[in-house]
Chains A and B, each alone.
Chain A
Amino acid sequence: MYRLLRRCVVVMVTAMIAGPAAAHHSFQMYDQQNETWLEGTIKEFQWTNPHSFIQVNVEQDGKMVEWSLEGGSPNILSRNGWKRTVLQPGDAVRILIYPLKSGEPGGSFIEVHKQDGTVYYYHG
Chain B
Amino acid sequence: MARCITTMVEIRKLCRLGLLPLASAMIYSSAVSAGDAASLPADPHDLSGVWMNDNTLDETLKRSGLKRLDPKSATPAPPAARSTDVLTPAYREKYDALADERARYAEGVQTCHWPGMPAILSYPYPFEILHTPGRITMIYEAESQVRRIYLDRDEHLPFDELDPSYNGDSIGHWEGNTLVIDTIGFNTHATVWGDLPHSEDMRIVERMAYVDEDTVHSEVTITDPQAFKQPITRTLVYSKRPDWRIREYSCMENNRDAPDAQGNRQGGVVEQAAP
Please state if B57 and A123 are interface contacts (CB–CB under 8 Å).
yes
Please state if B58 and A123 are interface contacts (CB–CB under 8 Å).
yes
Q: Tell me if B20 is interfacial: C-beta within 8 Å of chain A.
A: yes
* A14-B69 CB under 8 A given contacts A24-B251, A50-B249, A68-B270: yes
Q: Tell me if B18 is interfacial: C-beta within 8 Å of chain A.
A: yes
Looking at chain A's contact residues, is the secondary structure mostly helix, strand, loop, or mixed? mixed
Please state if A64 and B273 are interface contacts (CB–CB under 8 Å).
yes
Please state if B19 and A12 are interface contacts (CB–CB under 8 Å).
yes
B108 contact set on A, CB distance < 8 A: 25-30
Q: Tell me if B73 is interfacial: C-beta within 8 Å of chain A.
A: yes
Which of A64, A68, A75, A124 has a CB less than 8 Å from the CB of B141?
A75
Question: Please, how many residues of chain A have a CB less than 8 angstroms from a CB on the other chain?
Answer: 63
Please state if B273 and A66 are interface contacts (CB–CB under 8 Å).
yes
Q: Tell me if B30 is interfacial: C-beta within 8 Å of chain A.
A: no
A105 contact set on B, CB distance < 8 A: 269-270, 273
Which of A13, A33, A72 has a CB less than 8 Å from the CB of B66?
A13
Which of B107, B256, B275 has a CB less than 8 Å from the CB of A51?
B256
Q: Tell me if A65 is interfacial: C-beta within 8 Å of chain B.
A: yes
Residues of A within 8 A of B (CB): 6-7, 9-21, 23-30, 32-33, 35, 43, 46, 48-51, 53, 55, 57, 63-68, 70, 72-76, 78-80, 98, 100-102, 104-106, 110-111, 121-124
- Please name 4 further chain A to chain B contacts, defined as beta carbons within 8 Å, in addition to the given A13-B66, A30-B108, A98-B71, sorted by A numbering: A23-B124, A51-B257, A101-B107, A110-B67
